[in-house]
């Protein structure tokens, strides 16, 4: 997904961003928001099970050859179903976004940001090409949703191009830019996060 050196640079970007604001800032990079392995495997098996019937009805192939074809169909369908671009094409966009939204909210709570007043989570899911910024109540109150969406929009292009590190470093910097004015680094704030970047 991303090499250790890239992870270290992203962590450094989040550390640098955190120095600009007292609002706790965390980033999460996920390979996928939801696993659909079982569904795609079941689909491959169902397709393989349905393969012999038309061959028996409309061809004179031997049972041995039909069995070989059935195995090949199962292997091919399972292989295609494991490819990320195939999954993106087959999973409806609304379902992917819904899964990403739920995963982002779960990570927001898991990282303890739900217990802060102004914390912000940056969630990126590679399989769905999905980015979600989840601000705590105080941050959401002073920074409009349009500003967060503009940050997301700027990061989508490098993410789609495969520049994961560029996208995440840009997200950290842009979020700090939004948070620095209402929640400057000086003064009391929420307790700092021990780890600011997580790969799940």
Please identify, among 56, 74, 90, the residue that sits at the C-terminal boundary of a domain.
90
163 and 131 part of one domain: yes
pTM of the model: 0.74
Residues 51 and 25 in one domain: no
- pLDDT (mean) for 142-146: 95
Mean pLDDT score of the chain, rounded to an integer? 87
* 154-177 mean pLDDT: 95
Q: Assess whether 96 and 76 both reside in one domain.
A: no
Question: The domain containing residue 45 runs over which residues?
Answer: 37-90
Question: Are residues 148 and 176 located together in one domain of the fold?
Answer: yes
| pLDDT tens-place string over residues 83-109 | 777 776 776 667 777 888 899 999 999
The one-character DSSP state at 157 is H
Is it the case that residue 188 has pLDDT exceeding 60?
Answer: no
Q: What is the DSSP letter of 192?
A: P
Same domain, 156 and 76: no
Residue pair 47/70 in contact by the 8 Å Cβ criterion? no
Torsion-angle region of residue 162: left (phi > 0), alpha (psi -120 to 50) or beta?
A: left
pLDDT value, residue 194: 59
pLDDT at 153 over 60: yes
At residue 190, the pLDDT reads: 53
Question: 50, 74, 90: which is the final residue of a domain?
Answer: 90
- pLDDT 10s digits, 17-72: 999 999 999 999 998 877 666 777 888 888 989 999 999 889 889 989 999 999 99
Q: Where are the alpha helices (DSSP H) in 19-160?
A: 37-50, 52-58, 63-81, 84-90, 93-110, 137-142, 145-160
Both 106 and 189 in one domain: the answer is yes
The percentage of residues in the chain with a pLDDT greater than 90, rounded to a whole number, is 54
Question: How sure is the predictor about 114, in pLDDT bands with cuts at 50, 70 and 90?
Answer: confident
Residues 178 and 120 in one domain: yes
CATH number for the domain that contains residue 131:
3.10.310.50
Q: Are residues 66 and 163 in the same domain?
A: no
> What confidence category does residue 124 fall into, taking pLDDT thresholds of 50, 70 and 90?
very high
Q: Is the dihedral of CA 26, 30, 34, 38 positive or negative?
A: negative
Task: Using the predicted structure, report yes or no on whether residue 177 has a pLDDT greater than 60.
Answer: yes
Residue-level pLDDT at 193: 59
Verify that 104 and 179 share a domain, yes or no: yes
Quote the number of domains for the chain: 2
Question: Which pLDDT score is estimated for 99?
Answer: 84
The residue from 71, 90, 109 where one domain ends is 90
Dist CA 25 CA 133 (whole Å) = 10
């Amino acid at each position: 997904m991303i090499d250790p050196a890239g992870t270290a640079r992203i962590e450094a970007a989040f550390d640098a961003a955190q120095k600009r604001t007292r609002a706790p800032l965390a980033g999460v990079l996920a390979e996928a928001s939801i696993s659909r392995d079982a569904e795609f495997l079941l689909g491959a098996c169902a397709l393989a099970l349905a393969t012999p019937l038309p061959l028996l009805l409309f061809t004179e192939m031997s049972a041995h050859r039909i069995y070989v074809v059935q195995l090949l169909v199962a292997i091919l369908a399972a292989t295609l179903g494991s490819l990320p671009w195939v999954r993106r094409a087959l999973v409806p966009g609304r379902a992917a976004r819904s899964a990403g939204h739920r995963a982002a909210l779960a990570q927001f709570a898991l990282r303890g940001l739900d217990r802060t007043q102004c914390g912000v989570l940056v969630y990126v899911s590679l399989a769905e090409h999905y980015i979600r910024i989840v601000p705590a109540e105080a941050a959401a109150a002073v920074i409009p949703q349009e500003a967060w969406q503009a940050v997301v929009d700027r990061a989508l292009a490098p993410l789609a191009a495969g520049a994961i590190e560029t996208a995440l470093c840009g997200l950290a910097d842009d979020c700090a830019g939004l948070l620095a004015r209402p929640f400057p680094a000086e003064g009391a704030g929420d307790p700092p996060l021990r780890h600011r970047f997580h790969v799940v």
